[in-house]
Amino acid sequence: MSALLDGRLILRDAGSITNPFNEVSLDGFISTIADYLRHGFHLPS
C-alpha cells in the first residue's frame, strides 16, 4: 500500500499496463490487498 501512496506503484486499467514492474491493475491491486488482509499480512509461500 505504501508503494501506491508514495508513487512507486501506478494503478492502471488491465489493458493499459505498459510496465509490469511499477504498474498494476486496480483488480489486481484489490486482490493482493485482500489476500494480505485475509492471511494476516503474510501471503502463503
Domain with 16, as residue range(s), is 2-38
So what's the pLDDT on residue 35? 85
Q: Which residue has the higher pLDDT, 2 or 25?
A: 25
Tell which residue, 27, 26, 43, 25, has the closest CA to residue 35: 43
Q: Does 45 map to a domain?
A: no
Overall domain count for the chain: 1
Instruction: Looking at 1-45, list the stretches that DSSP marks H as alpha helix, in order from N- to C-terminal side.
Output: 2-5, 26-38
Q: Does 14 map to a domain?
A: yes
Question: Mind listing the pLDDT tens digit for each residue in 22-32?
Answer: 788 888 888 88
Residues 3/9, Cβ–Cβ less than 8 Å: yes
Q: Does 23 map to a domain?
A: yes
Tell which residue, 45, 28, 44, has the closest CA to residue 9: 28
Q: Does 43 map to a domain?
A: no
Q: Does 29 map to a domain?
A: yes
Q: Measured between alpha carbons, how far is 18 from 5 in angstroms, rounded to an integer? A: 20
